[in-house]
Structure 1
Amino acid sequence: MRDDTDLLLRRILTDVLGLKEGQADTFEADTGLFGHLPELDSMAVAGLLTEMEDRLDIVIDDDEIDGEMLETFGGLLTFAQAKRAGA
């Protein structure tokens, strides 16, 4: 069962990247994002992070952003869940 953060993150990815409806629903933890999805380029990263902050009610510091976090859906989800939990 997907939690609220998982569902919101899938919606954010769909909206920000203009993915086909339902495309993000198929993402698994090891689904590649940055470098794998042509829609997620360096310009889209800023928009993605801004939307994550707004919709997930979190603050993402510049020093928290790295390639590993953006490499897979699972990495991004783990990061988002930890931020929402206040870790």
Structure 2
Amino acid sequence: MYLEEVKKIVIDVLALGAAGESLNEHSALLGSLPELDSMAVVQLIGALEDHFGFSVDDDEISAANFATLGSLAAFVRFKLTA
């Protein structure tokens, strides 16, 4: 449901360009995309907060949430329905 919106944000924040279009829900993010370093995680969280209008607490930031595009979209869905 939120996968395409999250994908667009990931592509924009990480400046992946056309290469990012091949991302799907199973695409590994953290540890697989060199662009996704610790500073990019912070920028990505900020972009998700701004776009979707929620806040992410420090204890919600985990490798599991950033493992794949699908897990990140599931985290967004959780935040919006919690």
Do they superpose with TM above 0.5?
A: yes
What are the ranges of 5 or more consecutive residues in structure 1 without an aligned counterpart?
none
1:69 maps to which residue? 65
Of 3, 7, 10, the residue aligned with 1:10 is 7
How do residues 7-86 of structure 1 correspond to structure 2 at under 5 angstroms? 7-21=4-18, 23-85=19-81
How many residues in Structure 1 have an aligned counterpart in Structure 2? 82
What are the ranges of 5 or more consecutive residues in structure 2 without an aligned counterpart?
none
TM-score by length of 1: 0.85
**For 2:5 and 2:24, how far apart are their aligned partners in 1?**
15
1:46 aligned counterpart, secondary structure: helix
**Contact 1:8–1:56 under 8 Å retained in 2:** no
**How much identity, in percent, do the aligned residues show?**
37
- Whose relative contact order is higher, 1 or 2, with alpha carbons under 8 Å and at least 6 apart? 2
**Contact 2:3–2:25 under 8 Å retained in 1:** no
1:25, CA displacement in angstroms?
3.5
**Contact 2:13–2:43 under 8 Å retained in 1:** yes
1:27, CA displacement in angstroms?
2.1
Query: Bigger CA drift: 46-55 or 8-17?
Result: 8-17
1:67 aligned counterpart, secondary structure: coil
